[in-house]
A and B are shown apart, each in its own frame.
Chain A
Amino acid sequence: MVKFLINLFFVISMLFAPLKSFGAEPVKVTYIASIYFDSKGSGLKLPEGIACNEKLLLVADTGNNRLLRYIIENNAIKGGEEIKLPELSYPIRVQVNSRGEIFGIDSKQRRIARLNPEGALLGFIELKEMPSPEAFMPRSFKIGYADNIYVLDILSERVVIIDLEGKYQKQIEFPKNYGFFSDLAIDSKGGILLMDTVGSMVYRASKDSKSFSPVTGNLKEYANFPTGITTDNTGGIYLVDQNSGGILILGQDGSFQTRLLSFGWDEGFLNYPTQLCINGEGKMFITDRNNNRIQIFSLVK
């Protein structure tokens, strides 16, 4: 009898497992707040990059040539201290690792700066033992769970994985016939997702894979010019559609779920957004670039 029940339980769990993974509930977003200013009341200008966790929000305030650091505490955003360094004069991407260290890509010098949690420069990520280190053009990057740095290198058409000290781990070449990659994301299983802006497609390489393959078909029906990509903690994929001001939500299998938000100036609308990030508490932060602000939404399932 016990054996029968165990078998029955096993069969039922196997039957329901796919339903649980793919039958994603529709996601809605609720507008929470917008960030317009730093701690001294000075306005943001054309912010392009964003990084977040449960305690920290970092913004690449590109038009003001600086980073901004906000604290997330009791569901409120505080601070907005400026980090302004001549070595990071035009930041377009920002990331934070598990130690609280801050990383940023400088669009002008096209290298990755490493800062301590207080915002002092520790140096630049030096690429050690990497194949063709001279042919390196970082367009975007993300920090993985082991604090490894995943860099989208558009010059050598690859994603390079390096450790914190810049030591080369591995690289995966871009897939063939792609359009142009603008961003990448690391999912909860360690897989790498690539956002093909021109081809309107998402590619994935699972954790131990040596190549990328398409996760989606052509998304042109839903997105005009998607430039940013991230995932939530259940593996859902989120894209930001820059030219038409919207968010696309895909299931972890790449299936289209929904398109949210639209072009505009009022709060809750987007004007050429560039990137987004989602923290473990389900808060979504979007760089609403041409509206000079960061918008915060809550994901509701």
Chain B
Amino acid sequence: MVIIFIAGLAYSQNNLRLKPGAKGEICLKCHVNFQKKIKRSFVHTPVKTGNCSACHDPHTSSHEKMLADNTREICYKCHKSVIPEKAVSAHKVVVEGNCLNCHDPHGSNNRFNLIKAGNDLCFSCHKEMGESFTKVKFKHNPVAKSCLNCHNPHASAKSGALLKDTVPSLCIKCHQTSKPEFAQRHSNYPVAKANCTSCHNPHGSDKATLLFTNVHKPFINKMCNQCHQEPNSPAPLKVKKEGIDLCKGCHSNMVNEIFYKNKIHWPAGSKKSCQECHTPHASIEKALLKKPMIEVCGKCHADTIERQKKAPKMHEPVKEGNCTACHNPHSSNNILLIQQPGIIELCGTCHEWQKHVTHPIGEKFIDPRNKNLTVDCLSCHRSHGTEYKNMLHFATVSQMCTQCHKEYQR
């Protein structure tokens, strides 16, 4: 059977009457610039072996650069294992098959045919990270050397964020928790198994010991026992009170103010209370928010966040993810927890012109569609955006206006 197969294959190849070197060497006769690439320190194996047709179709193609298929399919043909079967996290570019964002498919002077060396490659996409890393006073040493000290570039079978291992297992490979100094630095609390990155910025920080920029006062003052049991107690990490009762100890004015208003933001009254949105130790975000505001709010109000993405032009506070520009995150006496007593006043805090030049709005103007409603900004606009221009409720201005001005309907 094998003999017949080989004979058949040989026959079929001969039948194509391919010239010697037809799989690649011949290509270089025209593509002379490739000679330079081939001389680079690292050359992709098919290029090195003169097998251009491993990736390119020599005759016709539906893909750019005469590729035989899309890049994902071509690369995955040989590099199947870049994403493990049960990956916990995977690099978006790898999943999407944008391998050429990082690798030169022919050759490079960098290892693994990378188009740039070291962190420069990572920071070319993760610009914000690169900029903040350059600016911070204290840099985490392994990051300065290479992002790949902690992250896998393609995918991780063990942890999120492409980390090579889970936290703290990854951290304790360098930071030995058994040393007395470790306990001492953590006020003798047993935090060896805690999540290091809930307090420390693993990349770098302006704060010594790489704490996140915004730190809870009792924490930075090492007054852990203000919230937690004593370090030598049977359950030292246990908090002294649950939920908002714990926070109330210091933030009593704020808590009283929250609960004095007509409407509370319900998570404030839930079991986790403050910790639904805030982290108790340190955060990269202001006000110790767990994540950027839009992500914190979007955890529950995902539909609103999705809607605003559809808008051709985003409302400025929405674009900035500044939900608290309009809403009070804790409580309010006003509808939808807005910061002002009414919609017109709220919009007027930025759109000042509406106070002198505007379509009739306010208490005196009844909405023709609803006899118990007056005209305000939301009669025509939706503050988080719509799929239409100017955040209008309808596709065209005439459709919008003739909702009320029916006499002009065509």
- Chain A interface (Cβ < 8 Å from any Cβ of B): 36-37, 43-44, 46, 63, 89-90, 107-108, 110, 135, 137, 139, 154-157, 179-180, 182, 197-198, 224-225, 243-244, 264-266, 290-293
Contacts and interface: CB of A to CB of B under 8 A. Distances in A.
A265 to B, nearest CB: 4
B372 A37 contact: yes
A36 B369 contact: no
A180 B270 contact: yes
Contacts of A266: 369-370
A108 B261 contact: yes
Contact of B262 (A108, A135, A180, A293): A108
B265 to A, nearest CB: 11
Given A46-B335, A198-B300, A291-B373, A107 B270 contact: no
A293 B304 contact: no
B267 A180 contact: yes
A243 B259 CA distance: 25
Nearest to A243: B303
B371 interface: yes
Given A198-B300, A265-B367, A291-B370, A155 B243 contact: yes
26 contacts: A43-B372, A46-B335, A63-B335, A107-B264, A108-B260, A137-B270, A139-B269, A155-B269, A156-B271, A157-B270, A157-B271, A182-B266, A197-B300, A198-B300, A224-B303, A225-B301, A225-B303, A225-B304, A244-B303, A264-B369, A265-B379, A265-B403, A266-B369, A266-B370, A291-B373, A292-B370
B372 A36 contact: yes
Given A137-B269, A157-B271, 10 more contacts: A44-B372, A107-B264, A108-B260, A110-B259, A155-B243, A155-B270, A179-B300, A264-B369, A265-B373, A291-B373
Q: Which of A137, A156, A293 has the most CB of B within 10 A?
A: A137
B263 interface: yes
Contacts of B262: 89-90, 107-108
B311 to A, nearest CB: 15
Nearest to A63: B335
B161 to A, nearest CB: 22
A198 B266 CA distance: 12
Q: Chain B, interface size: which category? A: 20 to 34
Contact of A265 (B264, B269, B370): B370
B329 to A, nearest CB: 15
Nearest to A288: B370
Contacts of A154: 266, 269-271
A243 B304 contact: yes
Interface string B347-380: 0000000000000000000010111110000110
Contacts of B242: 135
Given A90-B262, A224-B303, A243-B303, A110 B269 contact: yes
B369 A265 contact: yes
A266 B373 CA distance: 11
Contact of A292 (B243, B263, B270, B372): B372
A166 B243 CA distance: 25
Contacts of A43: 372
A44 B391 CA distance: 28
A18 B378 CA distance: 48
A227 B260 CA distance: 24
A94 B299 CA distance: 29
Nearest to B304: A243
Interface string B269-306: 11100000000000000000000000000011111100
A90 B260 CA distance: 12
Contacts of A108: 260-262
Nearest to B306: A224
B29 to A, nearest CB: 57
B346 to A, nearest CB: 14
Nearest to B276: A180
Interface string B245-262: 000000000000001111
